[in-house]
């Protein structure tokens, strides 16, 4: 309704204007700025106030609320979308944290199993080593005992041989059968001198 009314306001001067088309401006022959002609002031102020009021009402009642409402709606929408995005991000982060926790759990479990297995193997190795060591020691001891025995036998064999030899040498030199005691004493003293 307001629009039709305003169209009327706009159309009226056009019609009147065509009627006045024949009449050109008088040119205000008195000179000076037309802006300083105070006779035109009342009309200008009057129509200016009307025009400004009409524009103000159009703007404040119709156009600005419409535009502002739209902008506000868009802002809400964008804010909503941002909220939603933040929510999705939070969920994604949660899922990631969950995944990381599961991963670290699995890693911990795996390393525990590995540790246990390693310990077991270590223990087994240690047991086997101890076993082997024991066996070897026993063998070494046996071998040492054998060597001892053999060397003792060898020593007594050498002593017997030395006795025989001494006896034979004495026999040959002084043709006399030395007593066992004398030979032993002589051998002992020789052994003592040597060592």
Contact predicate 161/183, CB 8 Å:
no
How many whole angstroms separate alpha carbon 166 and alpha carbon 185? 11
How many whole angstroms separate alpha carbon 64 and alpha carbon 58? 8
Q: Does 111 bind other proteins (CB under 8 A)?
A: no
How many whole angstroms separate alpha carbon 184 and alpha carbon 167? 10
Question: Which one of residues 6, 108, 142, 161 is an interface residue with other proteins (CB under 8 A)?
Answer: 6
Tell me which stretch binds other proteins (CB under 8 A): 17-25, 84-92, 142-150, 174-182. Answer: 17-25
Contact characters 48-67, other proteins, x per CB under 8 A: xxxxx-xxx-xxx-xxx-xx
| Closest separation in Å from C-beta 36 to other proteins | 8
How many whole angstroms separate alpha carbon 49 and alpha carbon 37? 19
Q: Does 77 bind other proteins (CB under 8 A)?
A: yes
Tell me which stretch binds other proteins (CB under 8 A): 9-17, 112-120, 150-158, 184-192. Answer: 9-17
Nearer to other proteins, 35 or 177 (CB): 35
| Closest separation in Å from C-beta 75 to other proteins | 11
Nearer to other proteins, 31 or 192 (CB): 31
Across 126-153, b (16+ Cβ under 10 Å) vs e yields eeeeeeeeeeeeeeeeeeeeeeeeeeee
Q: Does 98 bind other proteins (CB under 8 A)?
A: no
Contact predicate 34/40, CB 8 Å:
yes
| Closest separation in Å from C-beta 64 to other proteins | 6
Question: Phi and psi at residue 28, in whole multiples of 5°?
Answer: 45, 70
Binding residues for other proteins restricted to 20-39, rule: CB under 8 A: 20-25, 27-28, 33-37, 39
How many whole angstroms separate alpha carbon 173 and alpha carbon 28? 184
Interface with other proteins (CB under 8 A):
3, 6, 9-10, 12-13, 16-17, 20-25, 27-28, 33-37, 39-52, 54-56, 58-60, 62-64, 66-71, 73-74, 77
């Amino acid at each position: 309704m307001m629009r039709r009314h305003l169209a009327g306001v706009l159309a009226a001067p056009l019609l009147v204007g065509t009627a006045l088309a024949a009449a050109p401006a008088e040119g205000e022959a008195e000179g000076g700025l037309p802006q300083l002609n105070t006779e035109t002031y009342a009309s200008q102020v009057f129509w200016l106030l009307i025009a400004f009021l009409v524009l103000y009402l159009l703007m404040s009642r119709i156009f600005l609320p419409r535009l502002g409402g739209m902008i506000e709606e868009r802002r809400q929408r964008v804010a909503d979308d941002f909220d939603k995005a933040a929510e999705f991000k939070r969920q994604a982060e949660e899922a990631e944290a969950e995944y990381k926790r599961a991963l670290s759990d699995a890693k911990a479990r795996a390393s525990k199993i590995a540790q246990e297995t390693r310990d077991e193997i270590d223990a087994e190795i240690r047991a086997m080593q101890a076993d082997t060591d024991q066996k070897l020691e026993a063998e070494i001891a046996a071998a040492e005992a054998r060597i001892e025995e053999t060397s003792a036998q060898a020593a007594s064999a050498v002593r017997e041989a030395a006795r025989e030899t001494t006896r034979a040498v004495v026999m040959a030199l002084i043709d006399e059968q030395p007593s066992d005691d004398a030979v032993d004493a002589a051998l002992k003293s020789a052994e003592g001198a040597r060592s």
